[in-house]
Amino acid sequence: MKKERKAMSIVRKMLISVLAGFVVGFLCLFLKIQLINSGKSQIWEIINQIFFQDITVKEGINGIGIFFIIGNIFMSALQLGIVPLVLVSLSLAMCSIAQGNKLGKIAGKTILCFVIFYFVGAALAGTIAYTVKSYGLFNVSIPAVSLENSVTMEPYNPLTVIINAVPNNLASAFSSNNQILSVVVVAIVIGLCMQKIPEKTKSLREFLQAVYDIIQLYLDFLINKIAPVAIFCMIARTFAIYGVEYLRPIAAFVITGVLTGIFLVLTIYPIGIFITTGLSPWKFMKKIWKVGLFAAATNSSAATLPLNIRTCTEELGCSKEITSFVLPTGMTINMNGTTVMHMIATTFIATSAGIDITPSQLVMAALISVTTAMGCPAIPVAGTTMIFAVLSGLGFTSDACMIGYALVLAMNYPVGMAVITMNVVGDAATNVIVCAQEGELDRDIFNDNLRIAENN
């Protein structure tokens, strides 16, 4: 009897997709340079129109943009499930854990973990950035670029995030992925109310559970069947259209940001888990790495939420109720990877503009970054845009600073891949810590290597 062939795991599929995306992307970039330098730019234009062209802009009116279409459809399909997933999962979680002072303890420990990871990450990133700056590696001569590419923001008080968290219109709160914090508040209210009147809301709980099962089935299909192809297309397209003219002057920022993000992912979270729970850091990293890989590929913590939930509950032994509270909350307010990137980017921009940034200014940058990052939407590029808020808070708004800021915006994709991983792995680490301290962690599942084999 012929032995049935085992299907390739999602982890292997994603790893192959990421590696293939980098290879194809860099080959296309090399081809682009060769064609342009040899006076055959029209050939590259044809290739670009067929595969990579952004068909939503004026220049792409005649383009096909196969890779662009696949990547954008996938991201839109993933984000379609974010608001209902957060609303339903968090409502059910609140209904389950809102007993006595349990909810308050879980919320308090969750926020405390997030804040500690924020400031540890900011301190280490600031130290690394200042060291790199002290060795003169950020002393670069940046070329003049068009400031039209800069994204600026109106000055605002970061505390307005608190006011905006409570929506005055349910339709507006549920109509955008930028209002996830409002969705979290609504979900908490619904869950608490269901817990107070369990008999009257029994039908509502059953309905929400059915909706949750439907969303999980939908997202599992996207992640297992569509994600590998879409990730390949997104990464290949990004590097194929990369501008190389400014790569040399900003290389120090890119390299520092990527290495710092990787270093912090491999240190602060495993060490934090070991210190607070005594659990094996190696087992945690071995099971969570695919979540970081998926986050890096999609460059979105919101898109990674479904995979993170499944990994935490099925492989790390975390309670479903606590996971349904910690991870959506973390996706909303735990952007410590964004703060790490802010520290490095601010130091680079200031130094390249001729400003001798001081340790006290870096402390102020960390405080501004933490307060702004907590209200940052869990979507690609949002964290990079928030750099302007940090620069404004420090008074670094000269033309030279804006040129450096424009370059960071243009070349931040590799750094974003590293620091977005910090956000999602930080959420998972906090979830493990809170579950362990609440006695809601199945240590047998956490320590079971077979759980990796089954899911990978």
Q: What is the mean pLDDT of residues 382-394?
A: 73
Query: Is pLDDT larger for residue 355 or for residue 180?
Result: 355
Specify the pLDDT at position 150: 43
Contact predicate 287/311, CB 8 Å: yes
Residue 453 has pLDDT above 60, yes or no: no
* pLDDT attached to residue 148: 44
Q: What is the pLDDT of residue 143?
A: 54
What's the CATH number of domain 101-170+246-455, 1.10.20.10, 1.10.3860.10, 3.20.20.70, 3.40.1010.20? 1.10.3860.10
Task: Give dist(CA 354, CA 352) in Å, integer.
Answer: 5
Q: According to the model, what pLDDT value does residue 145 have?
A: 47
Does the pLDDT of residue 276 top 80, yes or no? Answer: yes
Most confident of 21-25, 28-32, 183-187, 261-265: 261-265
Q: What confidence score (pLDDT) does residue 326 get?
A: 87
Residue type, 439: G
The residue among 326, 325, 280, 315 whose CA lies nearest residue 426 is 326
Round to whole Å and give the CA distance between 226 and 219: 10
For 324, the token pair is 């349904």
Highest average pLDDT, of 10-19, 43-52, 86-95, 219-228, comes from 43-52
Query: pLDDT at position 284, please?
Result: 92
Count CB neighbours of 54 within 10 A.
16
Cβ neighbors of 377 (< 8 A, separation 6 or more) are 177, 178, 180
Range 381-386 average pLDDT: 64
Which of the four pLDDT bands, split at 50, 70 and 90, describes residue 450? low
The Cα–Cα gap between 305 and 82 comes to 8
Stretch 366-370: mean pLDDT, rounded?
A: 83
For residue 154, CA distances in Å to 31, 276, 369 come to 41, 41, 16
Mean pLDDT of 323-351: 85
Q: Which residues contact 16 (CB under 8 A, 6 or more apart)?
A: 228
> 10 Å Cβ neighbour count for 112?
13
Say how far apart CA 246 and CA 322 lie, in whole Å. Answer: 46
Task: Decide if pLDDT at 386 tops 80.
Answer: no
Q: Is 280 exposed, middle or buried (0-12, 13-18, 19+ CB in 10 A)?
A: middle
pLDDT band at 358 (very low <50, low <70, confident <90, very high): confident
Of the ranges 81-95, 102-116, 279-293, which is most confident?
279-293
Work out the number of other CB atoms within 10 angstroms of the CB of residue 189: 13
Structure tokens at 342: 């802010």
Say which residue, 188 or 121, is predicted with more confidence.
121
Q: Which residues contact 398 (CB under 8 A, 6 or more apart)?
A: 353
CA 242 to chain centre: 21
Give the residue with greater pLDDT, 215 vs 238: 215
Amino acid residing at 236: A
Window from 8-17, 186-195, 418-427 with minimum mean pLDDT? 8-17
* Contact present, 294 and 304 (Cβ < 8 Å): yes
With a pLDDT cut of 70, the percent of the chain lying above it is 82
Do 313 and 320 touch, CB atoms closer than 8 A? yes
The mean-pLDDT minimum among 159-168, 197-206, 296-305, 422-431 falls in 159-168
**Segment among 101-115, 367-381, 410-424, 436-450 with least mean pLDDT:** 367-381
Quick check: 454 pLDDT over 60? Answer: no
The one-character DSSP state at 148 is G
More confident residue, 2 or 57: 57
Going by pLDDT thresholds of 50, 70 and 90, the confidence category of residue 440 is confident
Q: Angle between the 180-196 and 82-97 helix axes, to the nearest 10 degrees?
A: 30
pLDDT at 100 over 70: no
pLDDT band per the 50, 70, 90 thresholds, residue 381: low
Per-residue pLDDT of 238-265, as tens digits, reads 777 765 555 666 778 888 888 998 899 9
**Domain residues of the chain, as ranges?**
101-170+246-455
Q: Please determine, for residue 153, whether its predicted confidence score (pLDDT) is greater than 50.
A: no
> pLDDT digit string (tens) for 116-131?
999 999 999 999 999 9
Alpha carbons 138 and 316: distance in angstroms, whole number: 41
What CA–CA distance (Å, rounded) separates 429 from 289?
Answer: 12
Name every residue whose Cβ is closer than 8 Å to that of residue 218 and which is 6 or more positions away in sequence.
Answer: 81
The region of weakest confidence among 147-151, 199-203, 218-222, 452-456 is 147-151
| Distance (Å) of CA 456 to CA 218, 224, 319, 389 | 19, 11, 21, 41
DSSP letter at 52?
I
Tell whether the model's pLDDT for residue 229 goes beyond 50.
yes
The mean pLDDT of 144-169, rounded to a whole number, is 55
Residue in the structure block whose two tokens are 């995030």 = 161
pLDDT of res. 418: 81
Q: Is the pTM of the predicted complex or chain greater than 0.75?
A: no
Closest CA to 253 of 412, 419, 427: 412
d(CA 404, CA 349): 5
pLDDT for res 117? 92
Cβ–Cβ < 8 Å for 325, 93 = yes
Q: How far apart are CA 233 and CA 68, in angstroms?
A: 7
C-alpha to C-alpha distance for 346 and 312, rounded to whole angstroms: 34
Q: State the Cα–Cα distance between residues 109 and 370, nearest whole angstrom.
A: 18
The pLDDT, as a whole number, for residue 244 is 55
Give me the chain's average pLDDT, please. Answer: 78
Q: In terms of pLDDT, which residue wins out, 183 or 67?
A: 67
CB 239 within 8 A of CB 124: no
